[in-house]
Amino acid sequence: MPTKILDLPDSGFVLPGNRACAGCGIGIALRQVTAALEGRMVMTVPASCLTVFGGMYPISSVGVPWVNVAFPSTAAAASGIAAGLRATGRDDGMTVLAMAGDGGTADIGIQALSGAAERNEDFIYLCYDNEAYMNTGTQRSGMTPQGARTTTTWAGKRENPKDMPRIMEAHGIPYVATASAAFPTDLFDKVVKAKGIRGLRYIHMNTPCPSGWGFDPKDTVRLGKLAVETGLVVLYEVEEGVLRLTGRSAALARSGKPRTPVAEYVATQTRFRSMAPETLNAVQAWADTRWEHFVRRDAEPS
Ligand SMILES: Cc1ncc(C[n+]2csc(CCOP(=O)(O)OP(=O)(O)O)c2C)c(N)n1
Ligand code: SF4
Ligand SMILES: [Mg+2]
């Protein structure tokens, strides 16, 4: 049975006060992730807004062991820590969590992550995707959506984002899932499931960013939900090569109702201001094709 919102445990591992912007999606997500792992975890974190969230030594807003690592080495450090816990007999019930941004995952950290996936190392890798290099002032990443303005794409990015979850799936690892900070129960259940699996588990999580996307901090959850309603973000999990839609995406597919037009989502954020109609059409077509792909896979027999 999926967890209900009122049944989510109060983690207590994300402490009051942190250095993130008001409304940052990272905080909502980190509560669920640390609660799902019951705090029995070691984190590896590269330079990012997450590092800022954690705070500067000796002060931290997160009550779990946390290692700040060099940008490209998040997955390599997690591999080493997992091996160290095993070698010293301290791996029982412990989870190593590598958690990095989209730039640190899809661009800078991809080779260490790919190597760890190929070796099927024993940790969870969670990419929180705020769709740009936010900590350094919003530069484009390989995950920035087409049409989004960043400080390095003044007229709007021309390319669609990489499909990181499908890249990770191609490695044949035991568990791949997508999630959203706006759907905490779906995220919680996926982390609980991932905890019980050995080998490399990859979770790709959409994390709205008021400062970089240009929206009011009170709308973080509303926008995260809207992204799922449009099909720009699709919630699913893949086990043993079988893909199943989850949560709101599964309900949307089964309802047969039309998805919210991408135009409605785009209109909520200043990063998409003055988006050309042909770019909007291209993004809508991209979302439609992907949605049909996932709905088709969801219907395949296991
Ligand atoms: C080797 C290296 N290159 C560049 C930087 C500068 N830097 C720090 S955080 C950051 C952005 C990271 O982007 P992302 O991984 O998407 O995380 P976010 O900041 O968006 O949370 C960059 C480029 C660095 N710290 N180290
Ligand atoms: S820039 Fe975005 S991701 Fe970074 S702390 Fe602020 S709201 Fe969070
Ligand atoms: Mg980012």
Average pLDDT, consecutive stretches of 10 residues, N- to C-terminus, the chain (302 residues) = 92 89 96 96 98 90 95 98 97 96 98 98 98 98 98 97 98 98 98 98 98 98 98 97 97 96 98 97 98 97 87
Query: C-alpha distances in angstroms, 60 versus 50, 53, 128, 176, 263?
Result: 11, 8, 19, 30, 40
pLDDT at residue 213 in the model: 98
pLDDT at residue 268 in the model: 98
Rounded distance between C-alpha atoms, residue 157 and residue 301, angstroms? 38
DSSP class of 90: -
Domain annotation covers residue 6: no
Residue reference for tokens 């980190």: 30
Domain annotation covers residue 165: yes
To test ligand 2's pocket by mutation, which of 14, 19, 26, 206 has the most ligand atoms within 8 angstroms of CB?
26
Q: Which domain holds residue 87?
A: 18-299
Residue reference for tokens 């590598």: 98
Task: Specify the CATH number for the domain of residue 23.
Answer: 3.40.50.970
Rounded distance from Cα 275 to ligand 3 centre (Å): 21
pTM for the predicted model, two decimal places = 0.98
Q: How many domains does the chain have?
A: 1
pLDDT at residue 202 in the model: 98
Domain annotation covers residue 1: no
Q: What are phi and psi of 187, to 5 degrees?
A: -65, -45
Domain annotation covers residue 7: no
Domain annotation covers residue 3: no
Token output for 46: 């590269």
Domain annotation covers residue 13: no
Q: Is the CB of 47 under 6 A from ligand 1?
A: yes
